[in-house]
Amino acid sequence: MFNLTQQERIVLLFIAGVILVGSLLQIVSKQSAGFRDFLELTERIETKL
């Protein structure tokens, strides 16, 4: 399944690291202000309108 060369393994680790750091930075930058539940959100808006 993961029959990779050493170089390819490093590249894969690098990709994983980039995704991990990118996702965490994005989460922190959005200040964890809330979670979007689309259905719940639209229902609430419609009720309000």
Partner 1 sequence: MRRHLPFVWIVIVFIGGIMTHVGQIAWLSVLAISASLLLATAFFFRREQKLFGVLMLCLFLILGWLCTHSRWLFAADHIYFQKSKMDSSQIVARGIVDGEVRSTNRLSFVFSLKEIEINGHWQRTSGKILVNLFQDLKVRYGDDMVLTGKLHAPFEFSKSKKFSYRKYLGRQGIYFVLSVKKIAKVQILRHNQSNPLLTQLYTWRHSASATLSKHLRPYEAALMQAMVLGERTRIPQFLKDIFAKTGTAHILAISGLNVGIVVAVLFLILRMLPGPIKLTYILTLGFVAFYVLLTGASPSVVRAGIMAAVFLASFMIERETDSINSLAFAAFLLLVIDPQNFLDIGFQLSFLSVLAILLFYSYFMKLCEPFLKEHPNIVLKFLFESFAVSLAATLGVAGLIAYYFHMVTPISLVANIFVVPLSTLALILGIGMLVLDWFAPLFAICVRLVLNGMVWIMAFCQQLPMAYIILKDVNAWSVISYYCFVVLLWLFLRDIAASAGPDAD
Nearest distance from residue 45's CB to partner 1, in Å? Answer: 5
Rounded Cα distance between 28 and 49, Å, is: 32
Rounded Cα distance between 30 and 6, Å, is: 36
Half-sphere exposure of residue 22, counting CA atoms within 13 Å on the CB side? 6
Map residue 37 onto helix, strand or coil. coil
Q: List residues binding partner 1 (CB under 8 A).
A: 1-3, 6, 9-10, 12-13, 16-17, 19-20, 22-24, 26-27, 29-36, 38, 41-42, 44-46, 48-49
Nearest distance from residue 8's CB to partner 1, in Å? Answer: 10
Nearest distance from residue 7's CB to partner 1, in Å? Answer: 11
